[in-house]
């Protein structure tokens, strides 16, 4: 009996903007490969996104498909997962990730290798669908224009957004969002891109981010955080091991925050230490496993990111939805 994944009827959503166009080529190759290999020319539909947020719209209409494959980086995975979460649970297709981005943190959590390096298109055939956790963010959009580097949602009124890997605010989010501008101006990708953005955020724009934080329903406390991460998987920012023990199937959120104020050299050193997960031995670093939190910020201009995408808000509530999304993971359990 074959242990190949049964993808079933599959929608491939490809971000032609990811990794300077590499994802478009991978999407085409993947479709041809799957049709030839599985001898089925009708089971695979390929759609390229035409604009930011298009993947959410495409995925939200994917009922009737068994699988939706997101080809690109963490941005397209985030948007696709958000679309799938709009479909009721019984009809929700499984999510597969074909990592062709610059960060690929969710793929790293799943143990998928970056496709653009080795063109291992067959890897998706040795995966199995596993129910994984999804984070839910509820927020009211702020209408400030102070943070301008990333894609933006501007409408007023309460919103729900989902994340599969990370929600963070503060210096780390400024770094993630700063990569948009730096990528365009320098062409850097991966770890060098995130490090360059880190040096920029820890320079002229360095500050702390006061917040009233209520965790697991406890009374709100004022914190002067430098950075605050809420994780489903272990990494963010292209492999920074901010919560190395985070498990996407444990029904919990892992948090890590750096309590300020502190000199920026100290903050930068902690950031660099987080690449290897060594930041946690510092007294200013706090980690916990939680189910929910509410953050009230002092203004609407804080850098806040969900899977690398910008959120503008003055108040954010976050919770966990255990095992609500079936996601294709390698059967050999390999982790990068
Ligand atoms: N057709 C498109 N044209 C321009 N931008 C797009 C298009 N489709 C999606 N996007 C946007 O591209 C951004 C980046 O997408 P994605 O994350 O897939 O690639 P990446 O930036 O190369 O990788 P990573 O997020 O891992 O750094 C997202 O914010 C997404 O909204």
- Residues of the chain with pLDDT > 70, as a percent, come to 92
CATH of the domain at 104: 3.40.50.10330
pLDDT value at residue 116: 59
| Total domain count, the chain | 2
**What residues contact residue 117 under an 8 Å CB cut-off, 6+ apart?**
none
| Same domain as 252, residue 163 | yes
177-193 pLDDT tens trace:
888 888 888 888 777 88
| Same domain as 287, residue 168 | yes
Mutate to test the pocket of ligand 1, among 12, 14, 15 (most ligand atoms within 8 A of CB): 15
CA separation for the pair 62, 10 (Å, rounded)? 9
Confidence of residue 1 (pLDDT cuts 50, 70, 90): very low
pLDDT value at residue 145: 42
Pocket of ligand 1 contains residue 166 by CB under 6 Å = no
Cβ–Cβ under 8 Å, residues 137 and 160:
yes
Measured in angstroms, how far is the CA atom of residue 122 from the centroid of ligand 1? 24
Pick the residue whose CA is nearest to atom 13 on ligand 1. 75
Does any domain span residue 258?
Answer: yes
State the ipTM, two decimals: 0.95
Does any domain span residue 226?
Answer: yes
Burial code (b: 16+ CB inside 10 Å, e: under 16) for 8-45 equals: eebbbbbbbbbbeebbbbbbeebbebbeeeeeeeebbe
| Same domain as 122, residue 23 | yes
Phi/psi for 304 (5° steps) reads -130, 130
DSSP class of 114 = P
Does any domain span residue 58?
Answer: yes
- Lowest-pLDDT range of 147-161, 176-190, 319-333: 147-161
208-254 pLDDT tens trace:
999 999 999 999 999 999 999 999 999 998 899 999 999 999 999 99
DSSP class of 115 = H
Measured in angstroms, how far is the CA atom of residue 8 from the centroid of ligand 1? 26
Does any domain span residue 4?
Answer: no
Pocket of ligand 1 contains residue 105 by CB under 6 Å = no
| Same domain as 296, residue 213 | yes
For 238-281, the DSSP string reads TTB-SSTT--TTSS-EEEEEEES---HHHHHHHHHHGGGTGGGG
| Same domain as 261, residue 161 | yes
Residue 182, domain extent:
136-322
Mutate to test the pocket of ligand 1, among 13, 17, 105, 240 (most ligand atoms within 8 A of CB): 17
Q: Name the token pair of 167.
A: 């929600």
DSSP class of 126 = G
Does any domain span residue 5?
Answer: no
| Same domain as 69, residue 161 | no
| Same domain as 286, residue 171 | yes
Measured in angstroms, how far is the CA atom of residue 140 from the centroid of ligand 1? 24
Measuring CA to CA, how many Å separate 296 from each of 169, 300, 332? 11, 10, 42
| Same domain as 279, residue 153 | yes
**Mean pLDDT within 147-167:** 70
Range with top average pLDDT, 43-47, 143-147, 153-157: 43-47
CA separation for the pair 89, 302 (Å, rounded)? 33
Does any domain span residue 1?
Answer: no
pTM: 0.91
| Same domain as 310, residue 161 | yes
For residues 268, 174, 276, 282, the Cα torsion angle rounded to the nearest 10 degrees is 50
Confidence of residue 201 (pLDDT cuts 50, 70, 90): confident
Pick the atom of ligand 1 nearest to 50's CA.
Answer: 1
Phi/psi for 302 (5° steps) reads -65, 140
| Same domain as 24, residue 149 | no
Measured in angstroms, how far is the CA atom of residue 73 from the centroid of ligand 1? 7
Cβ–Cβ under 8 Å, residues 200 and 211:
no
Pick the residue whose CA is nearest to atom 28 on ligand 1. 75
């Amino acid at each position: 009996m074959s242990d190949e994944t049964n993808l079933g009827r599959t929608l491939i959503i490809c971000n032609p903007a990811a990794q300077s166009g590499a994802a478009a080529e991978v999407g085409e190759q993947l479709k041809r490969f799957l049709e030839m290999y599985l001898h089925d020319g009708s089971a695979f539909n390929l759609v390229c996104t035409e604009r930011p947020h298009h993947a959410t719209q495409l995925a939200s209409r994917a009922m009737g498909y068994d699988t939706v494959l997101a080809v690109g980086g963490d941005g397209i995975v985030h948007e696709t997962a958000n679309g799938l979460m709009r479909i009721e649970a019984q009809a929700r297709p499984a999510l597969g990730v074909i990592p062709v981005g610059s960060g690929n943190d969710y793929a790293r959590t799943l143990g998928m290798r970056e496709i653009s390096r080795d063109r291992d298109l067959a890897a998706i055939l040795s995966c199995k669908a596993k129910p994984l956790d999804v984070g839910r963010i509820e927020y009211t959009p702020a209408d400030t224009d102070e943070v301008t580097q990333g894609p933006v949602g501007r409408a007023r009124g309460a919103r729900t957004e989902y994340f599969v890997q990370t929600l963070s605010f503060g210096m780390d989010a400024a770094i993630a969002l700063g990569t948009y501008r730096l990528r365009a101006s320098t062409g850097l990708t991966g770890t060098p891109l995130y490090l360059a953005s880190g040096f920029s955020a820890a320079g002229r724009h360095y500050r702390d981010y006061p917040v009233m934080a209520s965790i697991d329903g406890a009374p709100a406390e004022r914190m002067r955080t430098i950075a605050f991460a809420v994780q489903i998987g272990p990494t963010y920012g292209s492999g920074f091991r901010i919560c190395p023990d985070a498990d996407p199937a444990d029904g919990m959120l892992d948090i890590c925050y750096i309590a300020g104020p502190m000199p920026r050299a100290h903050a930068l050193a902690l950031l660099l230490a987080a690449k290897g997960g060594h930041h946690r031995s510092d007294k200013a670093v706090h980690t916990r496993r939680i189910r929910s939190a509410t953050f009230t910020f002092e203004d609407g201009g804080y850098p806040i990111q969900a899977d690398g995408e910008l959120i503008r808000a003055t108040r954010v509530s976050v919770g966990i939805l255990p095992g609500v999304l079936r996601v294709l993971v390698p059967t050999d359990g390999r982790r990068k």
